[in-house]
Amino acid sequence: KQEVTQIPAALSVPEGENLVLNCSFTDSAIYNLQWFRQDPGKGLTSLLLIQSSQREQTSGRLNASLDKSSGRSTLYIAASQPGDSATYLCAVTALNTGNQFYFGTGTSLTVIP
Amino acid sequence: KAGVTQTPRYLIKTRGQQVTLSCSPISGHRSVSWYQQTPGQGLQFLFEYFSETQRNKGNFPGRFSGRQFSNSRSEMNVSTLELGDSALYLCASSYRDINHEQYFGPGTRLTVT
Q: In this structure, are residues A18 and A111 in contact, taking their beta carbons and an 8 Å threshold?
A: no
- A40's CB contacts (< 8 A; 6+ apart) are A87
CB contact under 8 A, A100 and B45: yes
Nearest Cα residue in chain B from A98: B98
Residues 18-77 (A) with a CB less than 8 A from some CB of B: 31-32, 34, 36, 41-46, 49, 51
Query: What is the C-alpha to C-alpha distance for residues B108 and B113, in angstroms, rounded to an integer?
Result: 16
User: Do A43 and B104 lie within an 8 Å CB cutoff?
Assistant: yes
Whether B56 and A42 lie within 8 Å, measured CB to CB: no
Instruction: Give the residue from A57, A100, A107, A108 with the most B CB atoms within 10 Å of its CB, the best one to mutate.
Output: A100
Check CB contact under 8 Å for A34 and B102: yes
For residue B1, the model assigns a pLDDT of 66
φ, ψ of residue B56 to 5 degrees: the values are: -160, 150
Q: Which of B33, B42, B109 sits opposite A99 (nearest CB)?
A: B33
Give per-residue pLDDT as tens, A29-60.
898 999 999 999 899 999 999 998 999 999 99
Rounded Cα–Cα distance for residues B11 and B20 (Å):
10
Name residues of chain A where pLDDT drops below 70: none
- Tell me the chain A residues in contact with residue B94 when contact means C-beta distances shorter than 8 Å: 99
Provide the shortest C-alpha distance from residue A83 to chain B (in Å).
19
| Contact (Cβ atoms closer than 8 angstroms) between residue B44 and residue B26 | no
Judge whether A80 and B22 are in contact, CB under 8 Å: no
CA distance B68 to chain A (A): 16
Q: What is chain B's pLDDT, residue by residue, as a tens digit (113 residues)? A: 689 999 999 999 999 999 999 999 999 999 999 999 999 899 999 999 999 999 999 999 999 999 999 999 999 999 999 999 999 999 999 998 777 889 999 999 999 99
In this complex, do B55 and A42 lie within 8 Å of one another by their Cβ atoms? no
